[in-house]
Structure 1
């Protein structure tokens, strides 16, 4: 029941933002990226029509997500479903409130369900990992699970994405055990979550100014670097034309191709930290 849902007990607003916060970018007629503070959500669907929401932003962001949805799809619009790349606090921050208001199903990988049904907490952020100031401040980030109860369902086993017949989900673990990305072959459009990102997320200045740079997953929350490396290789092999990532601006064309190829080729030196609890 809806009344049983609740956020993690350590959930709170995070006073961090970037110059892109509150802005949106249409990367295809039916693919739209919106930045909420320092994280991205995606809307898949043509303006004014049916759509699916990918991820649910930072804690306290539900009102902004609703406003962005109404701006693009019409007053009192609601998605067919919410699909999650993973369950970290900055991707499910507005989820409980949105599910209560919209009354829509939520889908995630089966390995992510313990973190979305209150049964298991994520490992604590690694403040000791090689990186900049954001890594050092990551102890302030929530890591306890939200509890969606029966409102969250596993993604279909065959790779189908509910309500998005052209998209497939791909298991891209490493950042979390059940991390997924969403891919459409027709135009090689990718919603990558945090499997790789396009900003150096552990360095405060780059987070604030959103300097584009194809990077591995955020270091302070990534616990399986072998799996993360394999996930990047899998996505690079798709040769995506456009990518929306969980952090940083969308990239396309040669900028994306060269950046992702370099990350795949030099993953150990570019992405894997020299030291840290999970290395």
Structure 2
């Protein structure tokens, strides 16, 4: 996966946003990573597109200083666009990686994800989905399971929530005190199968990317679970951070109408 370059981007690429005082969302091409914490103690959530390690390292230095090194890398899931730079980053930083136990086969070289579904209902980015890598990576003993009690290593104010559907071990992260949510791809804030909407980053609270979501009933349950948290701010894997009334209304509508608006009418996983 290291040598794979996916030639697509958006107008937001490289333009980070402060979702909270200690939560920084950075789009790289068409996917977001998050820096959580402050210069003396921070973690990286997700690891971007293949070939993006240098961009992530540069952004970390700009935000946290020349010796920037996270306490850990924590993953929402292991799809190619969320772990694309991970092998290089772990080699550079030598820090632990945490993920849900059901993601570990894809992160230790034991399994590959299902091939993306180019037949699914959707726009151009769905049709070209077969070019996206589905291979797992091998982090060896650098990766370990998230704690079973829901705590998040190095982030004591956060908890992890199992939000499967997009992948078996997909998780989201929630901080009760200010109702900040890092949702990964459990839901996203852009219609990811539409090339125009991805390029323009048009806000639309949407279900997970259709071409890489094999379990739609579980995905719907996960959206309902996140909507019930009533988040004030959400950073998702794709699209700009959302907040306030637009987030609340959009997420409530998605939870109610998921079968009509998110689940495709046809496709291999339907």
Tell me what 2:55 maps to. Answer: 64
Q: C-alpha distance in 1, partners of 2:144/2:227?
A: 28
1:133 aligned to which of 120, 124, 128: 124
Q: TM-score, normalised by structure 2?
A: 0.99
Cα-to-partner distance string for 1:198-256 (whole Å, 9 max, x where unaligned): 00000111111100000000000000000000000000000000000000000000010
Tell me what 2:73 maps to. Answer: 82
Q: TM-score, normalised by structure 1?
A: 0.96
1:27 aligned to which of 14, 19, 40: 19
Is 1:194 matched up with 2:167?
no
SS at match of 1:170: strand
Runs of 4+ in 1 over 6 A off after TM superposition: none
Is 1:180 matched up with 2:171?
yes
Q: Could you tell me how far 1:26 is from its partner in structure 2?
A: 0.4
Q: Could you tell me how far 1:84 is from its partner in structure 2?
A: 0.2
Tell me what 2:134 maps to. Answer: 143
Q: Could you tell me how far 1:76 is from its partner in structure 2?
A: 2.0
Tell me what 1:235 maps to. Answer: 226
Is 1:12 matched up with 2:15?
no
1:36 aligned to which of 20, 28, 42: 28
Q: Could you tell me how far 1:50 is from its partner in structure 2?
A: 1.1
Unaligned runs of at least 5 residues, structure 1: 1-6
Tell me what 1:218 maps to. Answer: 209
Q: C-alpha distance in 1, partners of 2:16/2:119?
A: 34
SS at match of 1:139: helix
Q: Please, what is the CA RMSD of the aligned residues?
A: 0.8
SS at match of 1:266: helix
Unaligned runs of at least 5 residues, structure 2: none
SS at match of 1:51: strand
Q: C-alpha distance in 2, partners of 1:43/1:240?
A: 19
SS at match of 1:41: strand
Q: C-alpha distance in 1, partners of 2:67/2:133?
A: 30
SS at match of 2:128: helix
Q: Could you tell me how far 1:27 is from its partner in structure 2?
A: 1.0
Q: How does 1:138-177 map to 2 (within 5 A)?
A: 138-177=129-168
